[in-house]
């Protein structure tokens, strides 16, 4: 049996582990903790969403099998429309099932229940959503009317994720449904959907159970960083990995070396027994947020040590036979000690620039360029792929499948 090591437990690492395991490999996953995947808000894009409308390829079978194993997201069918807490409606290729998909609604009234909870300004949000171009095109009206959705006063101080955890209880969902029925009858009888704060479950989405009880589609607005959607992803991942028999180790991989098989070194203390030798390794350590890549402008290095030599701005944080670059070419040290101005490396000042595209150079299926056989990279750690959730899932699934055939 092929032994595969996956480093990283974001969506790319999860997809790699599930795909490799589905292809018959024995999989070990080592990860340090949460990354970008645990902070995303539940809208799943393949291309960045402001590039929607451009033809995006279909998801491959392995990627769809990962989505099915997670059993928490909808990606099939037409593009979705979600409402964000920043007050806009935006398209998404897929969604966390707790989010309300406005895509099927036209000529409709959406009820945004107002409630005395500090982080949900229903009148303001409803006004922004109604005024958005997408609402105009679909003739959607967002209206408010009160609903008594707070049971105990301490809930007023709770964060969204804690409110979502309360709604894991079927009794609380039944209570919420009865409050919504009352509020709808009194203030929003014509509403054809209910758009709620991001409260609808932490273990799993409770939106469907609520919709069944209320009789119209109910769902969350897209949460901001640290909201319940990222935590629901973690729960779905943990269930899927356990069901597929992936062994998990908490730890930080500091280096990888090849001597006919791949061997990983873990940061001190976390390791215990030395790890077995692996036939293939998928690096899914994320980008700047996940910790796989580091941004080191020379101004910082020079402030710490005036003798510092110029070095590339972006580096991998673990030691392995790989090259960091973009557009197929390795990065070189800047010709000036200070490098370029920071804004020349980042969106929105410079679209398609280093911080959006830089990463480990890979060939087909995510094989790390120039590395011995069996080293792959996926997700935000790999160069030149969109920094999106579904891109990380797709590249992860492809790398996992390739690793299992190593
Ligand atoms: C706030 C926010 C909002 C977003 N919104 C959207 C959106 O609306 N739509 C969309 O499509 N995308 C969105 N994204 C982007 C999307 O979430 C990411 O592109 C995707 O989750 C990246 O997944 P990943 O698995 O590559 O990396 P990550 O999820 O970052 O995972 C990296 C993993 O590697 C581990 N790791 C790192 N180094 C080591 C090491 N040395 N040893 C062991 N483990 C290590 C980390 O602990 C982590 O588990 C958003 C991201 C953020 C942060």
208-215 long-range contacts, CB within 8 A, separation 24+:
208/97, 209/170, 209/173, 210/173, 210/176, 210/177, 210/180, 213/173, 213/174, 213/177, 213/181, 214/177, 214/180, 214/181, 214/184
Cβ–Cβ < 8 Å for 367, 405: no
Position 369 scores a pLDDT of 97
Residue 248: phi, psi to the nearest 5? -120, 140
Position 63 scores a pLDDT of 97
Q: Which residues' Cβ are closer than 6 Å to ligand 1?
A: 7-13, 30-33, 35-37, 39-41, 43-45, 225, 252-253, 284-286, 289-292, 317-318, 379-380, 387-390, 392
Position 273 scores a pLDDT of 57
Residue closest via CA to ligand 1's atom 2 equals: 40
Position 53 scores a pLDDT of 55
Residue 394: phi, psi to the nearest 5? -65, -45
In terms of pTM, does the model score above 0.75? yes
Pocket test for ligand 1, best of 6, 35, 49, 395 (most atoms within 8 A of CB): 35
Give which of 394, 341, 276 is closest to 30, Cα–Cα.
Answer: 276
CB-side neighbour CA atoms (13 Å) of 402: 22
Index of the ligand 1 atom closest to the CA of residue 35: 30
How many other C-beta atoms lie within 10 A of the C-beta of residue 306? Answer: 8
Position 332 scores a pLDDT of 85
Position 274 scores a pLDDT of 62
Mean pLDDT by 10 residues, the chain (406 residues): 98 98 98 95 84 68 98 92 95 96 96 95 97 95 97 96 97 98 95 98 98 97 92 98 97 94 84 76 97 87 82 92 95 75 79 89 96 97 95 98 92
Give which of 52, 47, 117 is closest to 81, Cα–Cα.
Answer: 52
Could you give the CA distance from residue 122 to residue 142 in angstroms, rounded to a whole number?
10
Position 38 scores a pLDDT of 96
């Amino acid at each position: 049996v092929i032994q595969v090591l996956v480093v990283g437990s974001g969506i790319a690492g999860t997809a790699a582990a599930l795909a490799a395991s589905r292809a018959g490999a024995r999989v070990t996953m080592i990860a340090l903790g949460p990354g970008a995947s645990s902070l995303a808000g539940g809208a799943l894009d393949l291309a960045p969403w402001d590039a929607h409308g451009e033809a995006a390829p279909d998801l491959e079978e392995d990627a769809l099998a990962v989505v099915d194993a997670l059993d928490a997201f909808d990606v099939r069918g037409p593009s979705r429309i979600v409402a964000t807490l920043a007050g806009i409606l935006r398209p998404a290729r897929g969604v966390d099932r707790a989010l309300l998909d406005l895509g099927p609604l036209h000529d409709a009234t959406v009820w945004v229940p107002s409630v005395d909870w500090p982080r949900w300004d229903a009148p303001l949000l409803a006004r922004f959503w109604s005024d958005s171009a997408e609402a105009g095109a679909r003739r959607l009206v967002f209206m408010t009317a009160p609903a008594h959705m707070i049971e105990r006063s301490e809930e007023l101080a709770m964060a969204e994720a804690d409110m979502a955890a309360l709604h894991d209880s079927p009794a609380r969902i039944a209570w919420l449904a009865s409050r919504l029925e009352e509020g709808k009858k009194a203030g929003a009888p014509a509403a054809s959907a209910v758009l709620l704060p991001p409260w609808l479950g932490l273990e799993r989405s409770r939106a469907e159970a609520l919709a069944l009880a209320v009789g119209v589609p109910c769902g969350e607005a897209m949460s901001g960083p640290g909201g319940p959607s990222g935590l629901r992803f973690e729960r779905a991942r943990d269930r899927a990995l356990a069901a597929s028999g992936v062994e998990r180790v908490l730890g930080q991989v500091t280096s990888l070396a090849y001597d006919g098989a791949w061997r990983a070194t873990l940061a001190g203390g976390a390791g215990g027994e030395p790890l077995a030798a692996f036939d293939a390794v998928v690096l899914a350590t994320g980008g700047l947020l996940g910790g796989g890549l580091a941004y080191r402008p020379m101004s910082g290095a020079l402030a710490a040590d005036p003798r510092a030599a110029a070095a590339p701005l972006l580096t991998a944080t673990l030691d392995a036979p790989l090259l960091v670059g973009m557009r197929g070419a390795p990065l070189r040290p800047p010709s000036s000690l200070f490098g370029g101005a920071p804004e020349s490396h980042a969106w929105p000042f410079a679209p398609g620039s280093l911080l959006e595209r830089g990463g480990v150079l890979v060939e087909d299926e995510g094989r790390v360029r120039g590395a011995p056989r069996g080293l792959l990279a996926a997700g935000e750690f790999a160069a030149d792929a969109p920094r999106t959730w579904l891109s990380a899932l797709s590249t992860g699934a492809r790398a996992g499948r390739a690793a299992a055939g190593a």
